[in-house]
Structure 1
Amino acid sequence: LYRYVLTISQSHYDEQGNFLGLSGVGTDIHEKKLSEIKLIESEEKFKTLANSVLTAIFIIQDDILQWINPETAHILEYSEEEIIGKPFYYFVHPDDVEAARLRADARQRGEDIINRYEARIITKNNIVKWIDFNVATILYNGRIAILGSASDISIRKKIELELKTSEEKFYKAFYSSPIPMTINTFRDGVYREVNEAACQTFGYVPEESIGRSIFELNIFADKEELQNYIHTLRTNEKVKDFHVTFKTKNGLLKDCIINSDVFVSSGETFVISSIIDITQLKRSAQIIYEQYKELQKINNDLIKTKEELTLRNIQLFEEKERFNRVLESINDAVIVTDRSAVILLVNNATCNLLNKEYDELIGKDIISILDLDCKQPVNFTFNTIIEILQQKSISNECILHVGNVSYNIELYVLPLKDQMNSITGTIVVLRDITQKKIIEEHIARTSKLESVGLLAAGIAHDFNNILTSIVGNLSLIKTRMNASSELYQHINDAEKASFKAKELTQQLLTFAKGGAPVKKVTSLSAMLKDIVTFVLRGSGIESKFIIDDNLYNVEVDEGQISQVIQNIVINAREAMNDHGLLKVYALNVNEDDPIKAIIGNDKYIRISIEDNGPGIQNENIEKIFDPYYTTKPHGTGLGLTVVYSIIKQHGGYIFVDSQPGKGTCFDIYLKATEKKVETIDENGNEISFIGKGRVLVLEDDENIQFILRTMLEELGYEVDISCDGDEAYKKYLVAKESDQHYSFAIMDLTIPGKKGGKDTITQIRKFDNEFKVIVSSGYSNDPVMSNYKDYGFNGILPKPYRFEELKQIIAAISN
C-alpha cells in the first residue's frame, strides 16, 4: 500500500558546520492527489473522444476560441494554430455575427437561451457553409465558458432549397396549366387543390370544391365508372387514359379522359389528375389523340437531339486546348484564321495541298491564298462569317486551283470561340475528295435504286398503317350514318381521298424497284383516261383515245400499271415539248396481231401509246431500258427501267417502235382474264352477316388493334389480340387443346423486333392445314402478299382497308 504525503523538512548543523539531523512535518494529501489524477485522466478521455468524432467540438471563453478538435479545423479549413486565440465571430458569416454575439453574451451571463440553432460560417477558402450548432455552458479553468458541437448541414440546406424551388415550379405549372388538374387525398378523395381550368370545366369555384370529396360533389355521372376508376387507381397507383363521364355543377354531362398518379407529400398520400374534355370529339378524337402523342414523342426526341448537339458543342470547346496536338495528325488541310481572315496556323497537309512553305502562308489573307470555285460563293469577311456561323457552320463543295492542277474538295468553315462564346476567328478545313468523288459516282449509280427501294418500303408501310386507322374509322362511321345525309358524303369523300394516298404509297414502291405485284381484277379503260389526262394537264398536247367497248379485264397491280402508263406519257410529253398529238389505244389482241406467235391462244390486251415527237435515234433504241441510261440533261435513267421491270413481273411484253423525226410508239401486252371486277358497295351493305366465335389477331399497332377489334366486334366476333407471334401461337395451341377453337386469324405480316405472321403461320401449318388465316400488311410489295397461298395463308388484307373489304375477305374464307 502507498499514500501521497506532503512533507516540509529542515536540516540542522552545529557551529562547526557538521550535520546534526532533520526536523519536519508531514501532511496526508492522498485523497486530494487521487482527485487531481482522476481529473487529468477525465480531461484526457474527453480530448481523446472529441478528437476521434466527426463532429466539430470547441470551447469558447470571453468570445475567444480556447480549444478545438480536429473536425473543427477541417470544417473551417484553417489549421488549429490559426483558430485558437481568435474571436469565434471571426469565422461567422457577416449577416449572422450580431445574432451569434448576442446569444454568446447572454449565455455567459447565465441567461436561459436556446442551445441549438443554425448559422452560416465562412471558411478559409471563402466558402459559405451552413452549420447546425449545439452549445452549453460549462466551467473551464474555474470560469464560465461555452462548450459547443457543430455539424455541416450545407448539403441538407441545398436540398431543402431545391425542394422548395421544385414545389414552387410545380404549383406554378399546376395553376397556370390550361388542362384541368386536381389534387385529392388518396384515402377519401377530398379535393385539396384545383386549378382555374378545372373550375371552368366543372363550374365550381375553388371554395365550393376544396375540402369536399368526389363523392360529395357527385361529379362521376356513372357509378360503375367511378368504382372501376377507384379500383384501377388503388391497384396500380395510377390511371392512364381512363374514359369517364363527368357531371358539372349545372348538371351537364361531359365525356372526358382522366389520367391520375399517386404521390406522397409530407407523409400523406395524394392523387394528382389531369382531365381532357372530349365531349365534342369523342368519336373522331381517338386518332387525333394518338397522333398527338406520337408528335409529343417526336418533339421529345428532337429536344433530346438538340441537347446532344449542345453537349457536343461543349465538348468541342473543351477540345480547343488540345487542338494543336492533334492538328498535325489530320490528313485534311486545316487553316486557322483570326476574325479578319488572316492565317494564324496551318498543318503540314495544308502546305502539301497548296504546294507552299509554312512561312509563305502565315500572316497572309486566306482570300489571296485560296483559288476556289464553289457551288455556293464564299466570302471570308468577318461580318459574313459571323452572320452564318451564329446559326450553323459552313460547308461547301469546291474546285481548288493550285497552279495548273485542280482538286475536288469539301470545304468546311467552323467558328473559333473564346470562353465568352464570342467568335474570334475561323477554322477552315479543306478535304481532298477527288478520288472519293470518282468512287461515289460509281457507288451512287449502282446503289441508288436499292436505297430508294428501302426508303420507299419503309414510308409506304408506316403510311399504310396510319391510313388503315383512318380508313377503318371512316368506314365504321359510315355504317352508323344515313347514306343520304350531307355528313355521310363528306365522310365518303374523306375515305376516297385516303385511298388516293394508298395509291401514292404504291407508286413509291413501284418507282423504287417495281415491287412484287399485288394483283386484282381490273378494267383499264377509265384508268388510262385518268392518268393520261392528268399528266398532260397544263400542256398544249392533244390526247386521243381508241379503246374497245368490250375491253377484256386484266389481273394486275393497279398502282404499278399506273406507274408504267405515267412514266411513258411523261417521256412523251417531254419529247413533244408540250405540243402535238398523243394517241392511246387499248384493244383486245386479235388473230392478226404478230404477238400471237408468242402468246398462242391465250387472250391478251394491247395498250399502245403513240406520240409524234422527234423519235429515238436507232443507236439508242437498244439502250432505253438499261438502268441509268438517259439522254436528258437531268434525267435519272430509271423511268423506263422501272416500266420494263413491272411489265415483266406481270408476265407481259413491251415493245418500242420509233422513227427519228416521226415519233415513238410503245406497245404493252397484258394477259386478259375472264374474272369479273369486284366492286365494293360504298354504303357498306353489300355483305350482311353475323359472325360467331373468337378471332385471333396478331397486330402490334395500337391504332389498328383498336379499329380491327371494333370492326370484328361489330360483326359479332369476340376478339383476342396479341402483339407477338410467339404469344399468338401459344394462344392458338391453348385454344386447340381446350377444344375452344378460333374461327379464324388475322395476322400482320411483320412485327418489328418480334415474330410476325410469316413465321407464325409456318409453325401452325406443320400440323394444321385447316385453320383459316388472313395475312395483312402495309408492305404491299412483299412476295408473301402476291403469293400468299404459297406461304400457307388463306387470304390477304392489304392495308389500308375498308370495313366492307374486311367483310368480303371473311366471307370468302368462310365459304
Structure 2
Amino acid sequence: MKISARFLLMTASIELSCILGLLIVFHFLIIPWHVETVKEKAVEIAGAMRAASSHTELSTVSVQIRAEEFAAASLGDIKSKYYLVVLVFFIVLTFLVMLVSLNIYRRIISPVSLIAAAFTGAGPGRAELLSPLAEHDDEIGGLAREYMLLSEKTERAINEMRENEKKSAAGEMEEKNALIAELNEKNRELSALNEKLLSEVEEVNKARQAMLENESRHRALAESTFEVSCETDIGGNYLYVSPNNEKMLGFKPEDFIGRNFSEFVHPDDIPAAFGAFQKGLQGLKADAVLRFRHRDGHYVWIESTGAYYQTASGEVRAIIVSRDITARRRLEEETIRAEKLDAINKLAGGIAHDFNNIITCLTGNMILLRKNAGDAKKFEEITERIEKIIKRAAGLTRELAADSEGGSIATASMDLNLLLRSVAEGLPDLKERGIRYNLELKDGLWPAFVDGEQVLRMIAGIIGNACSAMPDGGDIEVKTDNLMVFENDRSLMMAGRYVKISFKDTRRGVDNASAAKIFDPYYCREGQKDGLELFNAYAIVKKHQGYMTASADADRGLVFDIYFAASGEAKNAAAEDTPGGSRAALKKAKVLLMDDDEEILQSLSENLAEEGYQVGVSLSGEEAFETYKAHFESGDPFDVVVLDLIVPGGAGGAETVKKLFEIDSKVRAIVSSGYSNDPVMAEYRKFGFSGVIAKPYEIRSLCEIIDSLAKKI
C-alpha cells in the first residue's frame, strides 16, 4: 500500500503536537513539583543536621553546604530521570500515533481515494474498484453500494439505447433514402423553375432598362422645358421637383422635398390650392392660378395643372406642371387698368354731358319761371318741366350710386318669369314705336336668388337700350331656361345650377368687336348715342355674382345672355308688401328730422309741415338724441325719426338709432342716404331701422313711409 506525503505530514504534525504538549506539562507542572519536594527534603535535612550539630562539633556552615550539595544531587538526579521519561514517552507516543494514522488511512483516506478514482475514471469497469468498499458497514460502504447500483442502472440504460439505435438505424436509412429521392425530384423542379425565373428576370431587366431610359428621357424633357414639373403625395407634400424650378422660384429642388406646398403658396391662395387638389381627387380638371413665394420674398404668379395616378403599391400621387405667368398677369392687369381708366373717362365725360344738359335746362326754365311769375298757368307749366328735369337728374345719380362697386343687394328666391311678365305689362307703348316684344318663358323655371327691384331695373335698361338702337322698329325676343354647369365643363362659370335669360334684338351695325365694348359707359357707335343702360345692367348682374355676355347674332342683331344662381322655392316679388300703401288720413304724426345739411332740413321740414306733420329738426346725431330724449321723458315722444346715414365729424344714423333704443325700445326710425348701396341701406332692419328711403326722393314717398310706420303705433 502506498503511503502518501499528505498522510506522513499529518502523522508528523500529530506527533509534534503531542511532544510539545508533553514538554509543556513537564516543564510547568512536574519539574516545579519535584523541585519543591527536593527543597522540602533539603530543609528537613538541614533541620536534622542542625539538631545533630548541637551534639557534634559540625558548624552551621558545614551543615548548609551539605544540604545544598544534597539538593543539587537530587535535582540532577531528577533531570536525568525527566529526560529518560521524555524519551520513553516520545517513542511510545510515536508508535501510537503511527498506529492511529494507519488506521485512519485504511478506513477513511483509502476508501475516499477509491471512490474519487471511480468517479473520475473512464470505462465500464469503474464500479469494480468499489467492490471491496461495498463490504463495509459504515457510511463509505453505503456510498460505494449506491454508486455501484447507479452505475449498473446507467450501463443498462446505455445498452438499451444502443440496442434501440441499432434497431432504428435500418428504418431511418430507408426514410433517408426516400427523402433523398424526393429532394432530387424537388431539385429537378427547382432547376426548371430557376431557368424560368432567369428568363423572367432577363425580361424584367430589359423592362427596367427601358423604364430607366424612359425616365431619363422624361427627366431630360422636364429639365429642358420652361415649365416646372413636380410630384406630390395625396397630402400635397413634394416628392420630386424638376431642377428648372430654381430659375422660376429661386429654390433648389431639394428645398422642396418633404415639405408641403402650403409653405410656399400665398396664404390667401391656400383654399384655392386645396380646392384644386380636391377636384383632382374627384377625377375633375384640376387647374389653378396661385401665388408662390420666391426665395427673395416676393410672390410669383404660377399657373398649374395636374392629374393623379396610383402607384403599384396603391399610393396616390399627383403630377403637376406649372408655368410662370407673372409677366402675362402684369400685362393683363395693365390692360384692365387701362380699360377701366378709359371707361372712367367715358363715364365722366358722359355724366358731365348729361348734367350740363340738365343744368342748361334748369337755368333756362328758372329764367322763364321768374319772367312768368304773374302768369299762373305758365308758371305751373314751367314748374312741371323743372320737376321733370330734377327727376331726370335724380334718376341719373341713383343709377350711378347703384352701379358703384362694393354695393350691397337684398336678395331673395324669386321667379324670374314673373318679373319678365310684369315688365311686359308695363311696356304698352312698344307697339306704337313699331317694336314687337315676344316672351318664350320656360315652364318649371328654377327660382333664382336676386334683388327684384334691381333686376327690374336691369331688364328695363336692356329693353330701353334695344329700343334706342332700333328707332325704326324691330323685334325683341326674351327667353328663359335652366342650365346645369358641371366641374369638367370648359366654362368660365362656376359649377352649379343657373337660370338663364336671353335678350335678342334686331339692331343693325353690330359686330363682335362692338359687342365686346357694349358694356362700357356711354359707348357710342356711329349714328347712335348710348348712355348707362347696359353699363348698369352689367353692374347689377355682377353684384349678384352672375354672368352676362353680349354677342353679335349671325342673322343680324345683338344677343345678351344672363345667368343667375338658382335657388329653392321662389318668392313672388309682386306679392311683397311695400313700405308705402294707401296714405291714411293720419296727418298729425310727430316727426324728428336729422340731417347735417340745413337746406335739406329746411325744405323737408316746411314740406312736411304743410302736409300736416309736427316736425322737429336737428343737425347732428347727438342733437337728435338729446331732442328725442327730452320729448320722450316729457311724455310727448316723436312718432317717427328720419336719420341721415352719414354725418361727417359726428354720429350718423346707425350710431344714433342704437342710442335711441337705449331709452325707447319702440323707436321707429327711417334711414336716408345718397349712398344707396351702403350695407345699412340694403339690410336696414338688421341695424334697427323700420324703413329706408334713398336720396333724392319725393316728399310724397317719404310721407307714405312715415304714415305706414305711424299706423303701427
TM range (shorter): 0.3 to 0.5
Structure 2 length-normalised TM:
0.36
User: Which structure's residues are more often helix, by fraction?
Assistant: 2
User: Which structure's residues are more often strand, by fraction?
Assistant: 1
Higher relative contact order, chain-length normalized (CA < 8 Å, sep 6+) = 2
